[in-house]
Amino acid sequence: MKSLWNDTEAANYTDELGLRVYSSRLLGRNTELVLHGGGNTSVKISQRNILGEDEQLLYVKGSGWDLETIDRPGFAPVRLDHLQRLAQLDQLSDPDMVNELKTHMTLASAPTPSVEAILHAILPYKYVDHTHADAVVTITNTPNGLQHIRQIYGDSMVIVPYVMPGFDLAKSCARCFAEQANDSTRGMILMNHGIFSFAETARESYERMIELVSMAEAFLQDKDAWQLATGTASAIAPDRLELADLRKQVSDTRGEALVMHSRRDARTLSFTGRDDLATISQQGPATPDHVIRTKRLPMLGSDSQAYSRAYEDYFKTHAASARETKTILDTAPRVILDPRLGLCTLGRSMKDAMIVHDIYLHTMDIIERASLLDCFQALPAQDIFDVEYWDLEQAKLSKSGKAPMFSGEIALVTGAASGIGKACVDSLLARGAAVVGLDINPAITQLHERMDFLGLVCDVSDNTAIEQALDQAVTHFGGLDMLVLNAGIFPKSARIDAMDMAVWQKTLDINLTASLNLMRLAHPLLKRAPRSGRVVVIGSKNVPAPGPGAAAYSASKAALNQLVRVAALEWGQDNIRINELHPNAVFDTAIWTDEILAARAASYGLTVDEYKKRNVMKVEVTSHDVAELTAEMCGPLFAKTLAAQLPIDGGDERVI
């Protein structure tokens, strides 16, 4: 492991807290040290308060902040003397501890201090760094972990037996530090948890962490427990309906929709194909911090069942006491391992699913390296349960806000690179959906740089391309809940007696046949949607009020309209609702250039602004307006609406 410290970069941070920010970000860049908000850092600073008195403060990472991106506001300033006095108490409940931390901050707007604040306060060093380094966690999760740690570090590390995070851990660390610390002490090992480094400067503390972890990595290399085998990906890929079934089963167990990300590369299949998978994968997480970061993770499922049978009896055993204490039990897995499916991870959002995904990729490495060194031995199930159903975690769950409308759901939008389609993508993302955007324009792949969007280049009139797109969508997100049929073309105006039959056929192929084909292929997925499938078709004013010169467009849209009505009759019994919008005069799309708008307005003797509002209400209809109504039609307000045709045109006299 190499140090990332750069003097030029560090020169941009001139004070103690600034350097704390910089070195924390360096730790956060290395996923073999911390993942998705894990780890902790602090610095002790003397500051003058409003009364002109100097106070010793502990600036410690606040709840909700990630080391990779943390900035000054991410550190909570807590009065150091109060924290050190709290450490002298014989006992302190975790809720009371959190109250003490929050009420003794010097900045009301700061985040809630880490539950490890007291631990950081009792260590007699200015800078303290804490990570869950893979190499250290690997070694401590073996039967001979303590012996290995002593062999690696000698007496230069304080070694603390596993204790659950919180006040008791702080007390245990204080006791072990008092008993073991000496002039050569350079850090602290928390068995089955992580590693601490500390020093008087940010650079020394950071580089000491790198050095200590490197020693653990070198030990694993010397023991031939570093290089991991990779197999070859299976030629038999899972059917997309199989994945959709699995996602629905887990969602039903959870009682809410979940997205599911699947990975089946050579490395993953090598792990899930192990003969001892059912044993090594059933023990629990590599570190209890991963239970918290993955939001109550029953870590297993060596087959495609909706929950881990290994944990079923365990949860039943604790169910009575959980009910008494109002504990929130959750038997739905977040990780599913299968020799053919590979690694499947689930969450209420794609962010949650990918946090679990990233953590389990590291967990696989930790398990296999521990197995090569000795054997993987996680904490006892009771310790894992205690962390998972920790009263502080329960408090977070009980106070959690209302989930977004489409949390855990997946939408697919055609013609998504611009105009109404792009606006639909944005509206659905804003409501919490994971979205797949299809478009023939390559720009679709760069439409959004976020994990809950997947942009695919796809010609909707190409059956093979649609099949591949659906496969990718289900592999990436787990299924399909909402379908927005927006892709279409508006050919150049032509009278019937001058119709180019190639143009006629192309218009029907894209506006009608492609929609029919996508509906046909999407139906089995929509039928498996945990909260029922929904389809919204973007029609046209030309359906109720066609115009001359638009025979191909009007006929294709009218036929699509009739297809919607038939689908409603056939799909309603599958609890799939399909509805249609008829927009008109939506000018913020690619086909309406400034020149075309000016020419059209002039032909009516109107200004461009007057032309845009040429309707009964004298309002402009935008792509965003259409998209918002599209999203709402997928929501609960339209839960009992089927085969509706709604105009969104500001009132067109011919339609009215």
CB contact burial 53-84 (16+ within 10 A = b; e otherwise): eeeebbbbbbbebbbbebeeebbbbbbbebbe
Strand partners, 75: 61
Q: Which of 115, 118, 99 is nearest to 165 (CA)?
A: 115
Q: Angle, to 10 degrees, between the axis of helix 463-477 and the axis of helix 514-527?
A: 30
Concerning whether 553 is annotated as a catalytic residue, the answer is yes
Q: What are phi and psi of 512, to 5 degrees?
A: -115, -65
Question: Burial level of 613, CB count in 10 A (0-12/13-18/19+)?
Answer: middle
Contact 266, 260 (CB under 8 A): no
- Per annotation, catalytic residue among 59, 553, 604, 611: 553
Cα dihedral across residues 218, 219, 222, 226: positive or negative: negative
82 CB-near residues (< 8 Å, 6+ apart) = 100, 104
Number of alpha carbons in the 13 Å side-chain half-sphere of residue 483: 30
Cα dihedral across residues 234, 236, 240, 246: positive or negative: negative
**Beta strands at 127-131 and 40-48: parallel, antiparallel or unpaired:** antiparallel
Distance CA 265, CA 357 (A): 13
Distance CA 512, CA 516 (A): 6
Distance CA 194, CA 202 (A): 19
Active site residues: 553
